[in-house]
Amino acid sequence: MVMTDEADIDLKVRLWDCIPVRLGLGLLVLTLLITTLVLLTLARQEARQVIATDAGHAREIATITAADLASRMLAGGGPDVWAGISALASQYAGAIDALRILVLNKTGVVKASSDSARLGQRIVMAANPECPGCGTAREEDFPATAILSTPQGSRYLRVVNPVAVTLDCLQCHAGVAEARSYVVIDFDLTPLERANKQRQMIILGMGMAAALVLLTLITFLFRRMVMRPVDLLVASMGRLAGGDLSARTPVIASNELGLLARHFNHMAGQIEDQVARLEAANTESQLLYTLVVEASKNLEMSEFARGVSRVILDRLHARYTAFFLETADSGWICATAGVQQGEALARGEETLATALISSAAQFQQLLDNVPLQFIREVCQTQKLQFRREGDEKTFALPVIVETRLVGLLVCAGIPDKIRVNSDLLHNLGVHLTLAAVNSGNYTGAITDGLTGLKNKRYGLARLAEALLAAQRNKAALALAMCDIDHFKRVNDTHGHPAGDAVLKEVGHRIAGCVRKTDIAVRYGGEEFLLILPAADANLLATIGEKIRQAVAASPIGLGATGGSLPITVSVGITALRAEEDSVESLVDRADRMLYRAKDRGRNRVEIDR
Ligand code: GH3
Ligand code: MG
Ligand code: MG
């Protein structure tokens, strides 16, 4: 994937680069060009027309002049002939609005003219642009024309025609060359050019006005049809680029831009879906990873259940979770975690399925008011189920081993933005099943089946760990050994089951006296060991007393046998001697203190400091 740093992108379009600006300027230049072209063509056409008209007039004048000249010559000739022609020329010049008329002889001398100042002047004939056609041109090249300028800069049209040589002329002149003369007529172009200029200004003005109207119209249509959808699209793309995956653009036309908008919306939808899928996959892998870590960190069942409940609450941003697990002694535990309620652990003695299907009132609280009917259905169908309340989801995921319900994860108040689908929960279920079985096996292996306390092997292993930690950290550690007084009598008098019931209750009362970090162990028949990390030496008597009193506080029931008995325990406590102690020496000292308590009358606490 090519990543583009936002700083690399110029996010604003400069005015000069804006499409409407470029298009408008282009249109203006084009209009100017077209107008100029039209003007030029018109001017050229008119000039051609003027020249044709003026040349026609000139031709007629030349013919008339030739005839007149011939008749005057034949009538006697002499200098009056040219004066007469000059008078005629003035007359004709006025009639056709010519600047002047000159009649030249074969050498270019002005013999007659409407402008007397020109009489006698000589115009060079050969190859003189000021006398087009003179001297060399053939008859068919006439009328010959040229546009000339005066030294003052005003322009005029010069038309040259030869005077036709007739047989009459040859009566006096020796030949055609001898009789040749020319009629030169000049027309002033200034009025024409002035009119042209005026017209140019008008046409140019009209062209500009038309261009402006056109520009306004095109700009309006362009903004409506092109720029508006483009601007909307640009804004939506900006939002998408800025991370707003919900950015969509309105489709306001059915043309190509509408299609572009639809493609954009489709693409944005795809991106949103992909990102959501990635996020879901990420949530799933993080969730499963955290659970695996949690499960391997705490194989012991209640810790595992707490961990799962906490992780699910946290990762799914839920309001409440409850994780039920069946225990090795066919009871159940339930670890709950809630945003408001915090964490808690509950226990029960029936099998999990029985307990959940019975829908006892206590579950209403454990489930934070998720309907019991919903839970019962999940337990009976053994299938994952969702329910929705407002914009929150709740799911209940059964954990099944073969066909037996061994766990149930209930998660309530998951916000809609968190994607929790069946695939994710199916995978979660597989992990939870494995972890629950492992945890069950492990917990069974370290737990005493009768009392639910930890067994001796586990207790000694943990004692070794606690001893090492205390020695390394120079921290306190205490060990208490408790033994039920005259327990044999209970068995002997009330039977073994009654003894079991007493053992169970004594274990429960002893475990209830210690902190969460302390470990209560059934060490032997009716002996209990308490590992008390960080127990201050000054508090040992208090702890011992608390245990003794908890057991002695009230008679203990004999279970199914019926009735109850006052039961007491003797307690021996010792504190760690950091330098020399080992597990054996600690246990031995606690044992000795216990025997001292027995010796000194039972139902008492002895402390070795
Ligand atoms: P003391 O005050 O000196 O400790 O007297 P005691 O009778 O408690 O001591 P003793 O060691 O003589 O008797 C322990 C009895 O505990 C013997 C055994 O039958 C009984 N016991 C050990 N394990 C169990 C058990 O799991 N269940 C029952 N019911 N009894 C047990
Ligand atoms: Mg005993
Ligand atoms: Mg004993």
Task: Give the model's pLDDT for residue 137.
Answer: 64
Task: Please tell me the residue having the least CA distance from ligand 1 atom 4.
Answer: 485
Mean pLDDT of the chain: 88
CA 349 to ligand 1 centroid distance, Å = 26
Whether 253 shows a pLDDT value over 50: the answer reads yes
Report the pLDDT value the prediction gives residue 358, as an integer from 0 to 100.
82
Domain 456-607 in the same topology as domain 22-194: no
Residues with CB in 5 Å of ion ligand 2: 483-484, 487, 526
Check whether 254 has a pLDDT greater than 50.
yes
Name the DSSP class of 99: S
pLDDT of residue 126: 81
Whether pLDDT at 464 is above 50:
yes
Q: Are 506 and 450 in contact (CB under 8 A)?
A: no
pLDDT tops 60 at residue 460: yes
Confidence of residue 585 (pLDDT cuts 50, 70, 90): very high
Residue type present at position 350: E
In the chain, % of residues over pLDDT 90: 46
Element (H, E) at 188: strand 181-188
DSSP-derived pairing of the beta strands 519-522 and 527-533? antiparallel
- Residue nearest to ligand 1 atom 30, measured at CA: 499
> What per-residue confidence (pLDDT) applies to 455?
96
Ligand number, closest to the Cα atom of 491: 1
Instruction: Compute the average pLDDT of residues 6-27.
Output: 72
Cα of 592 vs centre of ligand 2, distance in Å, is: 14
Cα(3) to centroid(ligand 3), Å: 74
The residue whose CB lies within 8 Å of the most ligand 1 atoms, and thus the one to mutate among 456, 482, 487, 571, is 487
Ligand 1 pocket test, pick from 491, 505, 596 with the greatest ligand atom count within 8 Å of Cβ, gives: 491
Please give the pLDDT value at position 7.
47
Give the closest residue (by CA) to ligand 1 atom 26.
Answer: 525
Containing 311, the helix (H) or strand (E) segment is helix 301-315
Q: Whose CA is nearest to atom 14 of ligand 1?
A: 488
Residue 586 — pLDDT band, cuts 50, 70, 90? very high
Report pLDDT for 480. Answer: 97
Whether the Cβ atoms of residue 558 and residue 496 lie closer than 8 Å to each other: no
Domain chopping of the chain, boundaries: 22-194, 299-422+434-443, 456-607
- Rounded Cα distance, 112 and 101, in Å: 8
Q: Assess whether pLDDT exceeds 80 at residue 173.
A: no
Confidence band of 552 (pLDDT split at 50, 70, 90): very high
- Look at ligand 1, atom 10, and give the residue with the nearest C-alpha: 488
pLDDT category at 1 given cuts 50, 70, 90 is very low
Counting DSSP H helices and E strands in the chain, the numbers are: 17, 18
Question: Stretch 186-207: mean pLDDT, rounded?
Answer: 85
Say yes or no to pLDDT of 9 above 60.
Answer: no
Q: From ligand 2's centre to the CA of 483, what distance in Å?
A: 5
Q: Which ligand is nearest to the CA of 488?
A: 1
Q: Which residues of 345-373 are buried (b: 16+ CB within 10 A; e: fewer)?
A: eeebeebbbebbbebeeebeebbbebebe
Angle between helix axes 496-511 and 540-552 (nearest 10 degrees) is 140
Instruction: In whole angstroms, give the CA distance from residue 512 to residue 451.
Output: 12
State the distance from the centre of ligand 2 to the C-alpha of 581, rounded, in angstroms. 26
151 φ/ψ angles, rounded to the nearest 5 degrees: -55, -25
Q: Which stretch of DSSP H or E encloses residue 342?
A: strand 342-348
**Residues 202-208: what's their mean pLDDT?**
84
Cβ burial, residue 152 (10 Å; 0-12/13-18/19+): exposed
* Mean pLDDT, range 557-579, rounded to an integer: 92
> Any idea which fold 456-607 has?
Alpha-Beta Plaits (3.30.70)
How far is residue 352's CA from residue 354's CA, in Å, rounded to a whole number?
Answer: 5
The ligand 1 atom at the shortest distance from the C-alpha of residue 488 is 7
Cβ neighbors of 328 (< 8 A, separation 6 or more) are: 301, 440, 443, 444, 447, 449
Q: Looking at ligand 1, which residue's alpha carbon is closest to its atom 15?
A: 488
If you take atom 31 of ligand 1, which residue's CA is the nearest one?
A: 525
Q: What is the mean pLDDT of residues 492-505?
A: 96
pLDDT at 231 over 80: yes
**Which residue's entry shows tokens 């005839």?**
67
Q: What is the pLDDT of residue 4?
A: 45
Q: What is the pLDDT of residue 10?
A: 54
Which of these ranges, 208-212, 302-306, 452-456, 486-490, has the smallest mean pLDDT? Answer: 208-212
Residues in the chain, overall count: 609
Query: How many CA atoms lie within 13 Å of 1's alpha carbon, on the beta-carbon side?
Result: 3
Nearest ligand to residue 602 Cα = 1
pLDDT at 321: 97
Cβ neighbours of residue 107 closer than 8 Å, sequence gap 6 or more: 122, 125
Q: Is 408 exposed, middle or buried (0-12, 13-18, 19+ CB in 10 A)?
A: buried
pLDDT tens per residue, range 373-405: 999 999 999 999 999 988 899 999 999 998 999
**% of the chain with per-residue pLDDT over 70:** 98
- pLDDT at residue 583, rounded to an integer: 95
Nearest CA to ligand 1 atom 18: 488
**DSSP, res 454:** B
CATH code for the domain defined by 299-422+434-443 = 3.30.450
Q: How confident is the model at residue 11 (pLDDT cuts 50, 70, 90)?
A: low
Lowest mean pLDDT, pick from 242-246, 355-359, 373-377, 593-597:
355-359
Per-residue CA distances from 75 to 64, 70, 72, 173 (Å): 16, 8, 5, 15
Two tokens, residue 581: 């102690």
195: pLDDT strictly greater than 50: yes
pLDDT in tens, 287-342: 888 887 877 788 889 999 999 999 999 989 999 999 999 988 788 999 999 999 99
Residues with CB under 6 A from ligand 1: 450, 483-488, 491, 496, 499-500, 503, 525-526, 598, 602
The rounded Å distance from CA 594 to ligand 3 centre is 10
CA 169 to centroid of ligand 1, rounded, Å:
175
Query: For residue 525, which ligand has an atom nearest its CA?
Result: 1
Q: What is the mean pLDDT of residues 195-199?
A: 85
Q: What is the pLDDT of residue 605?
A: 97
pLDDT for 190 equals 87
Residue 208 corresponds to which amino acid?
M
Residue whose CA is at the smallest distance from ligand 1 atom 19: 488
Residue with CA nearest ligand 1 atom 11: 488
Composition of the chain by helix, strand, coil, percent to 5 = 55, 20, 25
For residue 487, report the distance from its CA to the centre of ligand 1, in Å.
5
130-139, 409-418, 485-494: range with lowest mean pLDDT = 130-139
User: Ligand 1: which residue has its CA nearest to atom 6?
Assistant: 486
Phi, psi of 101 (to 5 degrees): -125, 130
Closest atom of ligand 1 relative to the 450 alpha carbon: 26
Closest atom of ligand 1 to 484 CA is 8
Name the CATH topology of 22-194: Beta-Lactamase (3.30.450)
Strand 605-608, strand 569-575: pairing: parallel
Ligand 1 atom closest to 497 (CA): 29
408, 378 contact by CB (below 8 A): yes
